[in-house]
Amino acid sequence: MWIAPWCLAASSTSVARPRFSYPVAGNTTSPQLPEPSLFSRNMERTFIAVKPDGVQRGLCGEIIKRFETRGFKLVAAKFMQASEDHMKNHYLDLKDTPFYAGLCKYMSSGPVFAMVWEGQNIVKLARMMLGETNPADSKPGSIRGDLCINIGRNIVHGSDTVDNAKTEIGLWFKAEEFVAYTPCAQAFLYE
């Protein structure tokens, strides 16, 4: 396999470097395309989970693909089965609704694919990508508008506010489950 000389050891001084340096994968960034500031650009994280119905219907890949192709960055993920108590905690704000018990039982009945995604304004944009809570009200093009029918089987969860995202991420993930890296496309996603 031919490897471009500028992709080889950065310390090599004998190789003539091109005018434009492509960003490379890993914890390195292009010297000519600055890394966006995490603080000046509304960089956020959100909690996204493929629910048991989404997992059983084989939709994990489709849902991940939508976030990947939008340009968002996956920073943590795990395939797991949550306990009913965990789901009761997760949906605590819905405890007075008639569907709370059934929802928590259902959400703990099978595997879920839990993820944390990062990007500019991701909390709001992810909710738009998901569609409305009721798939019947969700526009075609949204995940729920394209892939499901029933409000109790709406295949995917997404945090609804930045504060709730922080709470949910803390509920589902430990600090050591996050992976730090710079995606090679980052400099082409943010100016």
Binding residue ranges for ATP:
51, 99, 127, 133, 144, 154
> By rule CB under 6 A, what count of residues binds ligand IDP?
9
Is residue 52 within 8 Å of residue 113, measured between CB atoms? no
Burial of 128 (0-12, 13-18, 19+ CB in 10 A): middle
Say whether residue 184 binds ligand IDP (CB under 6 A): no
Q: Which of residues 76-105 bind ligand IDP (CB under 6 A)?
A: 94, 99, 103
Of 41-49, 79-87, 150-158, 172-180, the segment contacting ligand IDP by CB under 6 A is 150-158
* Of 54, 135, 157, 168, catalytic: 157
| N-term to C-term CA, the chain | 33
Distance, in Å, from the CA atom of 73 to the CA atom of 119, rounded to the nearest integer, reads 6
Nearest-10 crossing angle of helices 60-70, 122-130: 140
Of 19-27, 57-65, 66-74, 147-155, the segment contacting ligand IDP by CB under 6 A is 147-155
163's enclosing H/E stretch is helix 162-172
Q: Which of residues 146-165 bind Mg ion (CB under 5 A)?
A: 160
The option from Mg ion, ligand IDP, none interacting with 99 (CB < 5 to 8 A, set by class) reads ligand IDP
- What residues are labeled active site? 157
Binding residues for Mg ion (CB under 5 A): 160
